[in-house]
Amino acid sequence: MLNALQRAWAGFQSCSVLRFKILAYHSVAPISRSRYEIAAENFEQQMEHLAAAGYRVVALQDALRAMQSGSIDSKAVVITFDDGYKTLVDHAIPGLNRRGWPATVFVPVAHIGGRYESSELLSWADMKEAARGGIAFGSHTMNHRSLLELSNEDLRHELVESRRILASELGLSFHPLAYPYGYYDRRAAAAAKAAGYDLALTFGSILSNTSWTNPFEMKREQILCSTTLKAFSRKVDVRYDLPRKMWHMIVPEK
């Protein structure tokens, strides 16, 4: 029995080379004021962990290519930020630039230079400056409404317009989308594909992306202010997928 378990575990671990993680952050600020805001000091510790543990932070576009060609490996990690908070300029982007690491920021295009839920967002000038330092941008739709609740016409508008404006302002050739709130269904995924996106991201479920993941259902691990460094180290490590999944069937993930 023990041998069978050991063999199953070894088999599971050997599959890990084909899996990789995408991390989803929101805001990074001097101190955390909400569940979705990471203290800058904690963010820095998490980046230090990635470097010390031998992870390679790769661009989303490169990860997609490697995933589709079957050459992705579990030391590859992608970093993303949703909503495009202004705080990234001072508290996240400098640390990424210093390490030469790429990341993708998803912006609700109608709110650029304005506010989302009372927090200040990046301006076009901020985004162009960040892009020069290797930060990529993607659509978080126009207005950050749940795609599940929209008419076909509104759904198309949210996806097509945001993609078009980002492409023309920033000269993008790669078009990623992050579903607002991570919510999507078949209709939303089909509309994203029809609108010309290359991939679309949702949230978690404690499973890695693999070579056979649908590019319009790519999963991300949410990093929250409650994520300890130990929890972070397990979230990025694909070998913990199965134990975490089993554990969180008993204790819901915070």
Looking at the Cβ atoms of 49 and 145, the one nearer to Zn ion is 145
48-77 CB burial, b ≥16 within 10 A, e <16: eebeeeebebbbbbebbebbeeeebebbbb
Residue 182: CB minimum distance to Zn ion, A:
8
Residue numbers at the binding site for Zn ion (CB under 5 A): 82-83
Name the residue with the smallest CB distance to Zn ion.
Answer: 82
The answer for residues whose C-beta is within 8 angstroms of residue 220's C-beta and 6 or more apart is: 21, 22, 23, 24, 80, 182, 201, 202, 203, 204
C-alpha to C-alpha distance for 136 and 127, rounded to whole angstroms: 9
Q: What is the C-alpha to C-alpha distance for residues 57 and 97, in angstroms, rounded to an integer?
A: 12
Shorter beta-carbon distance to Zn ion: residue 82 or 126: 82
**Min CB(7)–Zn ion separation in Å:** 42
CB of 17 to Zn ion, least distance (A): 32
Tell me the closest approach of the beta carbon of residue 142 to Zn ion, in angstroms.
Answer: 12
Least distance (Å) between residue 162 CB and Zn ion: 13
The owner of tokens 């041998």 is 3
In the bound state with Zn ion, the residue whose beta carbon lies nearer, of 74 and 119, is: 119
DSSP symbols for 24-70: EE-EEESS--STTEEEHHHHHHHHHHHHHTT-EE--HHHHHHHHHTT
Instruction: Select 82 or 237, whichever has its Cβ closest to Zn ion.
Output: 82
Select 96 or 201, whichever has its Cβ closest to Zn ion.
201
